[in-house]
Structure 1
Amino acid sequence: MDNLVFLGTGDAMGVPRVYCSCETCMEARAGGLNVRLRSSVLIDNGSDFLAIDCGPDWRRQMESLGQRTMRRLLVTHAHFDHIGGLPEWADACRWMGYKGELFAPAEVIPVILRQYPWLDRNIQMIPCDDGIELDGWQIDTWKVNHGKNGYSYAFRLEKEGYKWVYCPDSISLTPQETERMHGLDLLVLGTSFYYEAAELSTRSVYDMTEAADLLRTVQPARAVYTHMSHDVDLRKAYILPENVTLAVTGLRLPLTRSE
């Protein structure tokens, strides 16, 4: 059985923030529940894995798993918190003597290569706009609104009737952008705050109150919130829909329907 594993559940800055002494950051600084590396997940099939996003905490995440090799990766967009670990992955590929496979929408690939022009020596860049199949998963991708930060992409994965979406960076999605989110078994959604008071034009990711409205529209069987800032304290009891879980590092979810 395939399992979804959360390697990181934090926003672009992670938790704790180096400058911050809020209760959440102080609890995280002491090694508590709120420690959050930059958001990334992997699909573990028992013999190999497929990762989604490779932020600057990639090496620490791999060490925590006891993994020495990573051969395949999906990338949602080319912001640093999602690709900052690519140079280390490329170096690992070079030393291990194989070429990694990076799957991303076509317009994302040149942005990555502008930042790291040497990567394609050790990592093959493969467009996936028309869909791909990996480990039996049919994977589709589409562009989503990332607010003031431009755009990101979501991934929809289906295998043996189980359907789920990974969408860590989005806000104010249109009906066209949510069309492939309806009726999922699982929606993994980025929610940086419980409630973000900043003016909408200055924001880039859903808060949890807005996400609740989205869930009422698309009606997944289950949702997991990730990409959380230090505004979110996992020790608190937030008012959330009954089918929502807040992700913690190491959370493992079976990607199969319960009997």
Structure 2
Amino acid sequence: MEVTFLGNGDSLGTPRVYCDCEVCEEARSGGLNRRYRSSLLLETEGEPPLLLDCGPDWRGQMEAIGCRGISQALITHAHFDHIGGLTEWADACRWRQERGALYAPQEVIQSIVERFPWIVGQLSMTANDEGMNYGEWRITPWRVNHGKNGFSYAYRFESMKDGRAWAYCSDSIHLEGEQKSPLRGLSLLVLGTSFVVENYPVETRSVYDMREGLELVAEMKPERVLFTHLSHDVDVRADYGLPACVSLAEAGLVVTV
């Protein structure tokens, strides 16, 4: 499977409109820290591309890769930075005279339909709580703690041919017990870490920081890790002394699993 990072930013992206910090100013001038909201494009043999999350930067992300149409998408949760582009995608499907296929856990679908009740006219909604297939890959969602923001879902992708596995866990914090189990035995872990060190009260937080993410990595021992969902606290030009197996995701990065 080829995994293309369409975005690697947190819920507000970088630069933040109100902010004049060094990272935002560098991003504002078109620098390396300019970030779209987190999203992936997945491609595997014999299948159409599969979008993973569809945030408000969807149109710019499609233009960046020269993509004129997407037929299917996988959604992690119904927060705006992960579904804000669904209305544009649905309208694009209308103009192309096709129906899009959206896959998500049932409670996520319910939240999407409550927010955008008209969208079912253009997008078919299929609950994937029991998992789904994408070519040779079995995709399994599981509910994860999203701190003050409630819950999200993460996805584990496992090859039905040789057992290779990777996982996408963009919005989570303080995973315990069974929530960690799908993170074992991974070739690749894509993990959301919004700050380097987030010094806010624990009850106000919703995503791992890089320090905590490294503790999780040390416990789960994936072969390779990419940190995503990065806020303006993270400067991609800096050396954070990350282990050799860990790096920061960047838009346009293509990884083969």
- TMscore range, shorter length: over 0.9
Q: Which moved more, 1:6-15 or 1:237-246?
A: 237-246
SS at match of 1:157: strand
Q: Counterpart amino acid of 1:114? A: E
Partner residue, 2:33: 34
State how far apart, in whole Å, the 2-side matches of 1:185 and 1:128 are. Answer: 23
State how far apart, in whole Å, the 2-side matches of 1:122 and 1:11 are. Answer: 28
| 1:12 positional shift | 0.2
Q: Deviations over 1:108-158 (max 9, x none)?
A: 111001111111000000000001001221000010000000000000001
> Are 2:105 and 1:99 equivalent residues in the alignment?
no
| 1:98 positional shift | 1.0
Match runs of 1:148-167 below 5 Å: 148-159=148-159, 160=161, 161-167=163-169
| 1:217 positional shift | 1.0
The size of the alignment, in residue pairs, is: 254
Partner residue, 2:243: 241
TM-score by length of 2: 0.97
Q: Counterpart amino acid of 1:23? A: E
Q: Counterpart amino acid of 2:91? A: D
Partner residue, 1:146: 146
| 1:216 positional shift | 1.1
| 1:252 positional shift | 0.6
Q: Counterpart amino acid of 1:7? A: L
Q: Report the aligned-residue RMSD.
A: 1.0
Q: Counterpart amino acid of 2:164? A: Y
Partner residue, 2:255: 253
Match runs of 1:200-211 below 5 Å: 200-211=202-213
| 1:44 positional shift | 2.4
Partner residue, 1:198: 200
Q: Counterpart amino acid of 1:132? A: M
| Seq. identity, % | 52
Residue ranges of structure 2 left out of the alignment (5+ in a row): none
Partner residue, 1:44: 43
Q: Counterpart amino acid of 2:127? A: P
Which of 186, 191, 212 in structure 1 is aligned with 2:188? 186
| 1:237 positional shift | 0.3
State how far apart, in whole Å, the 2-side matches of 1:124 and 1:48 are. Answer: 16
Q: Deviations over 1:213-253 (max 9, x none)?
A: 10111110010000000000001000222210101110111
| 1:94 positional shift | 0.8
SS at match of 1:107: helix
Q: Which moved more, 1:134-143 or 1:44-53?
A: 44-53
State how far apart, in whole Å, the 2-side matches of 1:103 and 1:211 are. Answer: 27
Q: Which moved more, 1:40-49 or 1:83-92?
A: 40-49
> Are 2:231 and 1:232 equivalent residues in the alignment?
no
SS at match of 1:143: strand
Q: Deviations over 1:73-103 (max 9, x none)?
A: 0000000000000000000111111111100
